[in-house]
Structure 1
Amino acid sequence: MEGSTENKLSQWSLTALVVGSMIGAGIFSLPATFGRATGVLGAIIAWCIAGGGMLMLAFVFQTLAERKPDLDSGVFIYAKAGFGNYLGFTSALGFWAGTCIGNVSYFVLIKSTLGAFFPVFGDGNTLLAVLFASALLWGFHFLVLRGVKGAASINTIATIAKILPIILFIVVLVFAFNNETFMQNFSGAPEGLPSVSAMDLSHLDEFGYAGHAATHLPLVESPESLFSQVRSTMLVTVFVFLGIEGASIYSRYAQKRSHVGVATVLGFIGVLCLLVMITMLSYGVLLRPDLAALRQPSMAGVLEAVVGRWGAIFISLGLLISVLGAYLSWSLLAAEVLYSAAKSQSMPSLFARENANEVPYSAVWLTNITIQVFLLLTLLSQYAFQLALELTSSLTLIPYLLVAAYGLKLAWTKESYEVSSLDRKKDLIIAAVATFYSLLMIYAGGMKYLLLSAIIYGPGTILYLLAKREQKAKAFTSTELAIFVVVMIAAVVAIYSLATGAITI
């Protein structure tokens, strides 16, 4: 069902959806995450690769929005149009599941942040912390059920509010920037760098932002090469860019179709600038071992090292606003993907049902029940945030790859292009780079997360089979059946590996 006139979103609202979706938990974890993995040089290379690859993907979304205006809910529908029903379903399932797990990472970071101030929350894995997160979850659930426009308006306000502490962080670090510290961090080699000093970080310890015991992660890693340093940051860079598809997914609510592509590119460029500045400026304030020792959210520890305790409080408040706003955006996106998949007959028709506010309530209920289950599982895990971050990235890379490949297919086959179009050559190059980048990120993520993803993709196919049974339609072509068999084999291997300890989470 098309949104009514009053539910249409302006270009700035669509841009805010992109920015609000992208700025969440990941941006506040960058100083320590990059500090553990690499130095300045590796970070520059990582952001060039990630920024360039994601910019190409943003251009693909922009091109598809213009050349295929009849296709709404981008990530899912592009995969289906380009590669058939089953891969379209797989794209929808992967994006939805990644969104659910990503939302769990938001709640884990909220609980961990509060734990730095209120010991009863611990590291975010206490019963009280889970109960608190559950209350937030269901509060947002009923807010979303009241209507998309209202929820999107709240997201716009939250987006503005959460950018302010990030801007302050950048301004303060510009004035505190030390060239000598920055150059000591340049190569990224741990050799020669002083170890974390109790004197240096004692003031952070009192407030809970120092000490890797709190993060359950090692201090500075010792990668063998610059390539290893860069590779170790790749899934993190993917995670902080998730949400780039926000305007495309919500394109059916756009006032003008042209706003979708513009909002995607504007939102991406703005967020990329913030990500790069936060990473680079942090290298000019603390040495790598000090950055690596910070508790997440590590931006709070960096600012406190410069201005004192109020810096940690300010950033922590900004993180809470940021994460809650991003959670709202991702909840909307997740429900919209399930709804669109059901409308396109790739999911059971149950998920296409809407309430009086034009909200796909069945999709919203399934999404939040799934998140609630994963929240309960965090009681059993000490590594919930890192696992959620990397698994979310891995799950979402498959849909991104299919979008890029569809853009490449259109340009290659000349569909929707004039015979001698210069635009086709440009779009062919852009889509080829975006496709290569997606494949590179999947490789960088490693086999572990591909196998874990198969546990969701394989058994999740039951939803696709139920949809085809409803329609009394054939489920698979011969090619799709072969893909399904491979995915199920990978799922069995993953489950066996978990059972035997070959893969640990």
Structure 2
Amino acid sequence: MTSTAQKLSLASLAALVVGSMVGAGIFSLPRTFGDATGPFGAIVAWCIAGAGIFTLAHVFRVLAERKSDLDAGVYAYANAGFGDYAGFLSVLGYWLVGCIADVSYWVLIKATLGAFFPIFGDGNTIAAVLVSSVALWGFHFMILRGIKEAAAINTVVTVAKIVPILIFIVILLGAFETDLFRSNFWGGADMPEASLFEQIRATMLVTVFVFIGVEGASVYSRYARKRSDVGVATTLGFVVVLGLMVLVTLLPYGALERPEIAAMRQPSMASVLESIVGPWGSVFVSAGLIVSVLGAYLAWSLICVEVLFCAAKNGDMPSVLARENSNSVPAAALWLSNGVIQLFLISTLFSEDAFRLMVNLTSAMVLIPYLLVAAYGFLVAKRGETYNIRPKERFRDLILAGAATVYTAFMIYAGGLKFLLLSAILYALGTALFFYARREQKKPLFSPREWLVFIAVVAGCLVGIYGLVTGSITI
């Protein structure tokens, strides 16, 4: 599976990073920020998010170079730093993040089409679920033909979806009014009564969601033609995406009043452009959104399969998930991933706001794996592991890994208890796969420390289920 024919170039790795980050989130940014804050709060929020994700991206880059024996990024680092069960929780969480994100993509595509074809509603009607299911299994059989072919398609799609976003930015730059931006700067008219901290906090889970995928090249590190390409692709993808996110967020404040932006229908990028150039703007952005989201969906499908495959190869998932077909694709992992996505798609029929739920749950769940990676990067620098080579980098890496750890911990707090408890339910139920794998290998279930972690996960699960039953937690 890692033959020369299957190796990925720097361009393909960078496309995986950009492709997995630029998806549904960027098209919802104008309204999300307009509803919460003005340009000043948005600038502060992006400074926090940009600095935090930069430190996290740096940790991934350093670990890719200094721990080159560890493949599959997020999962492998958690396992190496904190043991088998922590590694399992990381791979389980990261895999579920990919599954839930893919569901959010299908919901948003159908919600976008719902503006033109009412049968799709907000993306959670029977017709929407049926069409999404057909598309889901269409992608499934395409990926079964080969990872290399799917990655090549992803590269083309990534280029195609960036073009509409760039055109949106150019048009908004042409319509930008400095005086209007200045009047909106602190929130403008009818700004909700909220402290700056609360305004920024309201945008935090979205900033996490739009940056999920920054580790895409690290996940696929074993396919890289050169190991150094992993770090370069990660940094390049981060810089490109951050620039796009900031421009898409801030430019509408120079073309429209903040309350008008806040009241727009999602995807709000389409609504913003329509208000400036007319109905064709909505159609144009909607088409770009569909291409963008399909590209992100493909990238995340590849990542989900790869993470499960590597975990199974390492013995932390059932061995059946490491089986490959004649095209060197982990077919069993792909079937399981798409089966779970199908179940989540069906569940959207019973959700009032399926897209918002999936976005927030995705963001909350990914923070646990990110926290473990950041903490492992900190431990590696603190212990001086591998720093016999370029020892002068150790202090810098220690500071940045420490900052990444603090950032991810803060984001877990900012996300709130509700989504942490919902995450605990999924983590606890998914631990059944860990039980199966340990029994299959005839290994002890938990170490004493891991028992404490498991008890905490189960406790969170029980509290979360109680909250759902009593109605104190709603979805």
Q: TM-score, normalised by structure 2?
A: 0.99
The whole-number CA distance in structure 1 between the counterparts of 2:350 and 2:435 is 32
CA RMSD of aligned residues (A): 1.1
Correspondence for 1:89 = 88
- Offset of residue 420 of structure 1: 9.0
SS state at 1:233 partner: helix
Q: Which moved more, 1:143-152 or 1:117-126?
A: 117-126
- 1:285 aligns with 255
> 1:63-109: per-residue Cα shift (whole Å, max 9, x none)?
00110111100000000001100000000000001111111110010
Q: Write the distance in 1 (CA, Å) between the matches of 2:315 and 2:42.
A: 43
Aligned letter for 1:109?
L
2:133 corresponding residue in structure 1: 134
Do the aligned residues in 2 keep the contact of 1:159 with 1:325 (CA within 8 Å)? Answer: yes
Q: Distance in 1 between matches of 2:205 and 2:193?
A: 16
- 1:102-143, Cα deviation, whole Å (9 max, x unpaired): 111100100000000111211212211111111110000101
Which residue is equivalent to 1:362?
A: 332
Cross-structure match for 1:263: 233
1:237 aligned to 207, 211, 219, which one? 207
1:30 aligns with 2:29: yes
Secondary structure of the corresponding residue to residue 155 of structure 1: helix
Deviation, 1:38, is 1.0
Match status 1:328 vs 2:298: yes
Letter in 2 for 1:185: N
* CA displacement, residues 434-489 of structure 1 (integer Å, 9 cap, x when unaligned): 11110011010011111000001112111011000000001111000000001101
Q: How far is 1:419 from its partner?
A: 9.3
Whether 1:375 and 2:345 are equivalent positions in the alignment is yes
Counterparts of 2:474 and 2:342, CA distance in 1: 22
Structure 1: distance between partners of 2:199 and 2:436: 44
TM alignment of 1:29-68, pairs within 5 A: 29-68=28-67
1:394 aligns with 2:364: yes
Counterpart CA distance in 2 for 1:419 and 1:278 is 41
Which whole-Å deviations, capped at 9, do the CAs of 1:243-275 have from their partners, x for residues lacking one? 101000011111010000100000010000000
Equivalent residue number for residue 183 of structure 1 = 182
Following TM superposition, by how much is the alpha carbon of 1:297 offset from its aligned partner in structure 2, in angstroms? 0.7
After TM superposition, the structure 1 = structure 2 runs for residues 415-430 of structure 1, keeping only pairs within 5 Å, are 415-418=385-388, 421-430=391-400
Q: Deviations for 1:403-435, whole angstroms, at most 9, x for unmatched residues? A: 110100001111111399221001000100111
Question: Deviations for 1:24-66, whole angstroms, at most 9, x for unmatched residues?
Answer: 0000000011111111111000000000000111111110011
2:310 is matched with: 340
For 2:318 and 2:84, locate their aligned partners in 1 and report how far apart those are by CA, in whole Å.
13
The CA distance in 1 between the partners of 2:166 and 2:316, in whole Å, is 43
For 2:215, the aligned partner's letter is E
Deviation at 1:223, TM superposition (A): 4.5
Deviation per residue, 1:275-322 (Å, 9 max, x gap)? 000101011111111111111110000011111111111100000000
Alpha-carbon distance, 1:230 to partner? 0.3
Q: Which runs of 5+ in 1 are unaligned?
A: 194-219
After TM superposition, the runs of 4+ consecutive aligned structure 1 residues lying more than 2 A away are 418-421
Query: Within 2, Cα distance between the matches of 1:399 and 1:87?
Result: 9
Post-superposition offset of 1:182: 1.0
Q: Read off the aligned partner of 1:265 and give its amino acid letter.
A: T
Q: What amino acid is aligned across from residue 378 of structure 2 in structure 1?
A: L
Unaligned residue ranges in structure 2 (runs of 5+): none
Please say if residues 108 and 385 of structure 1, whose CA atoms lie closer than 8 Å, have aligned partners that are also in contact.
yes
Is 1:495 the equivalent of 2:465? yes
1:211: which partner in 2?
A: none
Q: 5 Å matches for 1:414-453?
A: 414-418=384-388, 421-453=391-423
Q: Residues of 2 paired with 1:265 and 1:94: CA distance?
A: 24
Q: Is 1:226 aligned to residue 207 of structure 2?
A: no
CA distance in 2, matches of 1:421, 1:158: 41
Equivalent-residue separation in structure 2 for 1:490 and 1:440 (angstroms): 19
Secondary structure in 2 matching 1:168: helix
Corresponding residue of 2:117: 118
Separation in structure 2 between the aligned mates of residue 498 and residue 153 of structure 1, nearest angstrom: 43
Amino acid at match of 1:296: Q
Name the CA distance, whole Å, in 1 between partners of 2:380 and 2:251: 41
Partner residue of 1:412? Answer: 382
Q: Which residue identity is paired with 2:219?
A: I
Residues 223/402 of structure 1: CA separation in 2 closer, same or farther (3 Å cut): farther
The letter of the residue matching 1:245 is E
- Counterpart position of 2:270: 300
SS of residue in 2 equivalent to 1:232: helix
Distance 1:156 1:114 in 2: 25
Q: How many residues align?
A: 475
Q: Which residue of 1 aligns with 2:105?
A: 106
For residues 257 and 143 of structure 1, what CA distance do their matches in structure 2 show?
A: 28
How far apart are 1:377 and its partner, in Å? 1.0
Q: Aligned residue for 1:157?
A: 156
Q: 1:12 to 1:99 in 2, by over 3 A?
A: same
Alignment partners' CA distance in 1, 2:92 and 2:323: 18
TM-score, with normalisation over the residues of structure 1?
0.93
Structure 1: which amino acid aligns with 2:73? G
Distance in 1, matches of 2:104 and 2:50, equals 23
Q: Does 1:470 align with 2:440?
A: yes
Contact 1:223–1:229 (Cα < 8 Å) also in 2: no
- The 1-side partners of 2:468 and 2:179 are apart by 46
